Amino acid sequence: MKIGILSSGGDCPGINATIRGVGKTALMHYGMEVIGIHSGFIGLLKKDIQVFDERSLSGILNLGGTILGTSREKPFRKLLASGDSDKPRIIKENYQELGLDCLVCIGGNGTQKTANLLSQQGLNVVGVPKTIDNDVWGTDITFGFDTAVNIATESIDRLHSTASSHKRVMVVEVMGHHAGWIALYAGMAGGADVILLPELGYDINKVNEAILDRARRGKPYSIVVVAEGIETPNKKQRPSDYITKAIEEGTGIETRDTVLGYTQRGGNPSPFDRNLATRLGGHATELIASKQFGRMVCMHGNHVASIPLSEVAGKLKLVTPDHDLITQGLRMGVTFGQ
């Protein structure tokens, strides 16, 4: 069999470990041919490829980013909007001309949606979930999340000393447009006093009262962690900027903000993410060998499994109010803006 591998969407620690897991399993265990497709679906449109062998997949396990490059190309976007696009047809033709028996799509929600649409076009596709946001439906965890939480937690740890020294409120903005998984996990691990998630909403007056209450109890500084996707009155204003000004105005306590931005998804993957990516990549190749196409590999507890791509497409895995970290946080006095 001959398989192609591409990575699509934002870069993420662990993509290279996944490419290695898929490719080495295919080459060394199953004797398959493996090609890498550059720049996501753009590479499939242009037949921009490279042939992988064992040597070309060595030394990439610990590398961040993706050796194949990536893009946010969505070949079905125009077709779905207007019914007029040649891109799906070109991809299908190139898939056939390259002699592929299966396409492995490494990516987040948008990528898995495209993978499902390609599967409906008759292509053999296997998806591997990738996102630091941890919001791909159908899997308990995605690689990249652990690394992002580690980076965010270390940053929060470092802000405690400055906040304490200057008796300030420090507002830390982390990634998460729709899902607050990074804010929740890094906020709890970093000992944040206030954690604001897109799923829960918040009352700024209750946030300010919680900070003032801490000050009255002899705790002159506070750490506030916000996900970038929380709502603000001005859609063009960064959440951290709005929250910082609202806290300073509402409490009279000096408040500063820090936006972690792309540092959360850059750099080398954590050991946990390297192993997770390796397991998911290897299982993707097992699905190909057994001709189980149209599926996405996933984690259920500590077990690697797979689910139909049709069940994943168009869905998000969001934080729920009854999550045990929220429950425990509330018991310990953490404020979630309610």
Tokens of 165: 């020294």
Q: What is the gyration radius of the CA atoms in the chain, in angstroms?
A: 22
Count of other CB atoms within 10 angstroms of residue 319: 23
Distance (Å, rounded) from C-alpha 30 to C-alpha 289?
A: 7
Beta strand residue intervals within the chain, DSSP E: 2-7, 33-37, 49-52, 102-107, 125-129, 169-174, 194-196, 222-227, 255-259, 295-300, 303-308
**Among the listed ranges 67-81, 178-192, 319-333, which one has the minimum average pLDDT value?**
67-81
Residue 164's identity, in one-letter code, is S
Tokens of 204: 């700024």
Q: Has residue 78 got a pLDDT over 80?
A: no
Concatenating the DSSP letter of every residue in 48-77 gives -EEEE-TGGGTT-TT--S-TT------TTH
- pLDDT value at position 90? 95
CA angle 234, 239, 241 (to 5 degrees): 90
- pLDDT value at position 235? 85
Distance (Å, rounded) from C-alpha 21 to C-alpha 16?
A: 8
- pLDDT value at position 163? 94
| Mean predicted lDDT score pLDDT of the chain | 96
CB 197 within 8 A of CB 336: yes
Average pLDDT over residues 52-79: 93
pLDDT band of 134, cuts 50, 70, 90: very high
The pTM of the full predicted model, rounded to 2 decimals, is: 0.95
53 is a catalytic site residue? no
The alpha carbon of 317 is separated from its chain's Cα centroid by a whole number of angstroms, namely 11
Query: What percent of the chain is predicted at pLDDT more than 70?
Result: 98
Taken as a whole, the chain contains a residue count of 338
Which parts are annotated binding residues for substrate? Answer: 131-133, 168, 175-177, 228, 256, 262-265
| Spatial strand order in the sheet of 169-174 | 194-196, 222-227, 169-174, 255-259
Which parts are annotated binding residues for ATP? Answer: 10, 72-73, 108-111
Q: Has residue 84 got a pLDDT over 90?
A: no
Q: Which of 134, 129, 87 is nearest to 313 (CA)?
A: 129
Tokens of 25: 């399993």
Average pLDDT over residues 207-211: 98
Q: Has residue 80 got a pLDDT over 80?
A: no
Which parts are annotated binding residues? Answer: 10, 72-73, 108-111, 131-133, 168, 175-177, 228, 256, 262-265
- pLDDT value at position 204? 98
Phi then psi for 252, rounded to 5 degrees? 80, 5
CB 297 within 8 A of CB 320: no
Q: Which of 201, 165, 198 is nearest to 338 (CA)?
A: 201
> Per-residue pLDDT tens for 16-48?
999 999 999 999 999 999 999 999 999 999 999
CB 123 within 8 A of CB 92: yes
Q: Has residue 83 got a pLDDT over 70?
A: no
Largest Cα–Cα distance of the chain, in whole Å?
A: 71
Residue of 48, 86, 101, 133 marked active site: 133
> Per-residue pLDDT tens for 214-235?
999 999 899 999 999 999 998 8
Distance (Å, rounded) from C-alpha 222 to C-alpha 160?
A: 8
Average pLDDT over residues 245-257: 97
CB 66 within 8 A of CB 16: yes
Q: Has residue 82 got a pLDDT over 70?
A: no
